[in-house]
Structure 1
Amino acid sequence: MDTIHLTQITDLHLGTDASATLGGVPTLASFEAVLQAVADQGRGTDTLLLTGDLASHCQPEAYRLLNSTLSAHQKQAIWLPGNHDDSQLMAANLVNFPPRSVVDLGAWGLLTLDSSQPNKPGGHISDLQLQHVEQGLQTLAGKYILLAMHHSPLPVGCAWLDKQQIDNQQQLQELLSRQGNVRAVITGHVHQQFDGHWGQLPIYSTPSSCVQFKQHSEDFALSEQPPGYRWLDLHSDGTVHTGVEFLRGFAPHPNLDCASY
């Protein structure tokens, strides 16, 4: 069977129009630059995994802007919400990209999870989402599975961000441990690359398509790193190859004096 090539883009933080910025970086321009870099690199298909915080403040106009941008670039997209999103508004306004949380990819399956909770930045897996995971694992039985969610279940080494990791990750881990076919977990939220292991599972966090957070920081701080994305190669024997790419020569640079977002 052929290798499945996917591209993860996360934490877009789009506003209502092209003038919106985060940390001094225009978020639509940086997202479109990432899309162009993916196309130029030629590694991957037109299928994108958008892993949350697609809007800055869950504005319907931001999701409509994303819908039109993806359509203009002739992309397919699978999305999930982050803590800055509203899943109902996403579904209502991403009209060309209906929600898909259990996806058959052939030898592989993709299972997406909503780790957000209302009016809180941190992650939590609700009972409803735990049921969704259990049902999804049953639906995708016999396939290798890639699990995607916004929040990390692990600390990444930033004190202020680590307070926002999934607070009941053990429940999810116990559920996944009953199934031997989950091969990797991908997340967003932390605006930086992190490659580690959650028990026996490889786990990958991915840089934002706009600004990055400074690694190993006690408090909020931006990094000089440019926008980025992750490619994933899912092989027919269940192995995963993945890497992160950062844009070269992208401007404007982030405002390192930014104190919050």
Structure 2
Amino acid sequence: NFDIPVHCIPGNHDIREYMRAALSSAPFHYCDSYSRRNWLIVGLDSCKTNSAGGHVAPDEIRRLHDIVDGGNAEHVLICLHHPPLAMGSRWLDGVVLDDGAGFLNALERIGKVRGCLFGHVHQAFDTVHKAMRIIGTPSTCRQFLPGSDEFALDDQPPAYRRVELNDDGSIASELIWVPMRSQPGETSQ
């Protein structure tokens, strides 16, 4: 039994009503915010019903503003499932946030957002957009081949990302690639 909070956000494989009901009591927190030192971490809902693509509703942006305005954090990290930027992969770029530019503009207007962390794309991604880190985390399952026009799997192993939020507002990040072991019936070469 671990006595640590688990913060959850919905993605394209989730049904938000079921997820909210199943993850509404400790140690789980559904689309919640969390303060640590001079940072505020906010989970946003980018789930778009019956779609692989994402959408951040105006109500969710208002909720974000209310959370930020109600606190005294110097720095903010946003966590959501879908990326706000194109990945440079034709098939995958069709299932990012439907108004990524508008979403990023909303984050810029807040003035404290130092980073935006997302999943969904099953590959590593890290860039800076107008002084804001935009960081994609690979899958703990299979990876998608970066830059592909059509769906294709990469041979990269599962991975996760460790993130460190520094007091000066910078974000340190490390990818941890997990070696794959042979599955039953497979031979390792």
TM-score scaled to structure 2, two decimals?
0.88
User: In structure 1, what is the Cα distance between the partners aligned to 2:181 and 2:128?
Assistant: 31
Structure 1 unaligned spans of 5+:
1-70, 254-261
| Partner amino acid, structure 2, of 1:125 | V
User: In structure 1, what is the Cα distance between the partners aligned to 2:110 and 2:19?
Assistant: 30
Residues 1:252 and 1:140: Cα distance change in structure 2 (over 3 Å): farther
User: In structure 2, what is the Cα distance between the partners aligned to 1:115 and 1:198?
Assistant: 19
1:77 aligns to 2:36 (yes or no)? no
User: In structure 1, what is the Cα distance between the partners aligned to 2:181 and 2:21?
Assistant: 32
Aligned partner of residue 30 in structure 2, secondary structure: coil
Structure 2 equivalent of residue 93 of structure 1: 22
User: In structure 1, what is the Cα distance between the partners aligned to 2:151 and 2:166?
Assistant: 37
User: In structure 2, what is the Cα distance between the partners aligned to 1:186 and 1:158?
Assistant: 19
Residues 1:251 and 1:134: Cα distance change in structure 2 (over 3 Å): farther
Aligned partner of residue 166 in structure 1, secondary structure: coil
Structure showing greater relative contact order (alpha-carbon pairs closer than 8 Å, 6 or more residues apart): 1
Give, in angstroms, the shift of residue 141 of structure 1. 3.8
| Partner amino acid, structure 2, of 1:201 | M
User: In structure 2, what is the Cα distance between the partners aligned to 1:90 and 1:134?
Assistant: 24
Residues 1:222 and 1:130: Cα distance change in structure 2 (over 3 Å): same
User: For the aligned residues, what is the CA RMSD?
Assistant: 1.9
Structure 2 equivalent of residue 219 of structure 1: 150
| Partner amino acid, structure 1, of 2:81 | H
Aligned residues between the structures: 182
Give, in angstroms, the shift of residue 214 of structure 1. 1.1
Give, in angstroms, the shift of residue 171 of structure 1. 2.3
1:190 aligns to 2:121 (yes or no)? yes
1:136 aligns to 2:84 (yes or no)? no
Residues 1:188 and 1:139: Cα distance change in structure 2 (over 3 Å): same
1:108 aligns to 2:21 (yes or no)? no
User: In structure 1, what is the Cα distance between the partners aligned to 2:83 and 2:31?
Assistant: 21
| Partner amino acid, structure 2, of 1:91 | R
1:181 aligns to 2:112 (yes or no)? yes
Provide the identity percentage.
32
Give, in angstroms, the shift of residue 123 of structure 1. 1.2
